[in-house]
Amino acid sequence: MTDTTSGRSGVPGVAFFSYGFRPFFLGAALFAGVAIPVWVLLLAGTGHANLSYAPREWHVHEMLFGFLSAVIAGFLFTAMPNWTERPPIKGMLLMMLWTLWLAGRLVMAIPWLPPVVSALVDSAFPVAVAIIVWREIVIGRAWDRAPIGLLISLYAGANLLFHELVLGGAATDLSERMALAVIMMLLALIGGRVTPSFTLDFLSERGRSEQPPPFTRFDGVSILLAGIAAVAWTAWPEALATGWLLVAAGLVNLFRLSRWYGWVTWREPLVLILHLGYGWLAMSWLILGCAILGLGVHPADAVHALTTGAVGAMTLAIMTRASLGHTGRPRHAGPMTVIIYLLVNLGAVLRVFGPATTLPTPLMLGLSAMAWSGAYLVFALVYGRFLLRPSLDGE
C-alpha cells in the first residue's frame, strides 16, 4: 500500500508535497533566481516587459510578497507541527496552497486578467496562510505562538494595502514599510530563538563549555525596542526620533547577538550563517537609523541591509538547515552550501555599500544581483534533488 504522507513510496511527486519546506523553498529559490535578473534588465533599460504593475512596483511587490511569502509559508508549515503537536500541512492541501502561490506570481507578471482580479488572486495566498496559522494555533492551543499569527495577519494586510494603493494610483511606501516591519519582527522573534538554540546544540555536541544564555528579560526588552522602532519607522520614516530608536535597537541587538558565542561556530557554517543573518538584522536597524540621521549610506541603500542582508542570509540559513535535517541528511554545510552563503553575503555587501563607492552604480547593482540571485539558483541546483526525492530516513 502506498504511503502518501511521508514520501516513503519513492515517488518524487508524493515526496514533494509531504512537507511545506519542499515546494515552497524550491519555488522561492527559483523565483528569486529569475525575478532579480529580470528587474536588473528592466532597470538598465535593456529589457521590456508588459507586467501587471509598473516595473518598480512589480519588483518590490514580488520580493516582499512573492518570494518572501513562499519562504515564510515553507518555514511555518514545517515548524508548526513542532509548535502544536499536530500533523503537518501536506498532500492535496499543500499542493493547492503552492498552486495558489504560483498563480499569484503569474497574474502579477502577465496582465491577462483585470487588475482587481489579479490583486484578489495574489492576495488569497497570504490570507490563506494566516488563516491556517491561526487554525493551528487555536486547535493546538499554542498560544505562545500568537505573536507569529498576529505578524502573519499584518503581513497579509500589508499586501492587501499594497494592491489598494497601486490600484488607487497612490504611492506604496506605507505598505512596503509595514511589510518590512513585520519581517524585522519575524526575524527578531524566530531568528532570536533558533540561533542560540542551534548554537547550544552545536557547542554541546562538541563538548564546549560556552553556552548561550537562556531567554531572559533582556531578550524581551531587545525585541520590544525593535518593535517600537519598527512601528515608528512605518509611521514616521523621516523623523529624527525614529532614527535614534533604530540606532538604539541595532546596538541593543548587536549586544544580544554577542552573548550567543557565534565566533566559536566558525567550523560549522550551517550554524555560523545564523549569526551572520542576525548580525545583518541588527546592522540593518543601525544603518537605517544612521541614514535617517543623515549619516552613512543613502536611505534607499540602507533598506537593502534588511532585504538583501538580513533576509537573504537568514532565509538561506533556514532553508539549507531545514532541507538537510528534514530529508535525513547530516546537518553540515558542504562546499556548495558555503558558496551559497558567500554569494548571498557578497550580494548584500555590494548592494548596500557599492553605490557609495567610486565605481559605477549600474556595475555594482549588476554584480550584487548576480551574486544574490546566484545564491538562490545554486540552492535550487544543489538542494532541489533533496526536496524532490523522499527523505533518506523514511520520514
Domain boundaries, the chain: 12-388
Q: How far apart are CA 161 and CA 195, in angstroms?
A: 32
31 and 105 Cβ atoms separated by less than 8 Å: yes
At residue 19, what is the residue type? Y
63 and 351 Cβ atoms separated by less than 8 Å: no
Q: What is the pLDDT of residue 41?
A: 85
- The closest of 41, 66, 73, 31 to 52, measured between CA atoms, is 66
Q: What is the pLDDT of residue 83?
A: 93
At residue 85, what is the residue type? E
- The closest of 112, 39, 42, 104 to 70, measured between CA atoms, is 104
Per-residue pLDDT tens listing for the chain (395 residues): 333 333 444 445 689 999 999 999 999 999 999 999 988 888 877 766 788 899 999 999 999 999 999 999 999 999 999 999 999 999 999 999 999 999 999 999 999 999 999 999 999 999 999 999 999 999 999 999 999 999 999 999 999 999 999 999 999 999 999 999 999 999 999 999 999 999 999 999 999 999 999 999 999 999 999 999 999 999 999 999 999 999 999 999 999 999 999 999 999 999 999 999 999 999 999 999 999 999 988 888 999 999 999 999 999 999 999 999 999 999 999 999 999 999 999 999 999 999 888 888 888 889 999 999 999 999 999 999 999 999 987 65
CATH of domain 12-388: 1.20.210.10
- The closest of 190, 185, 72 to 132, measured between CA atoms, is 72
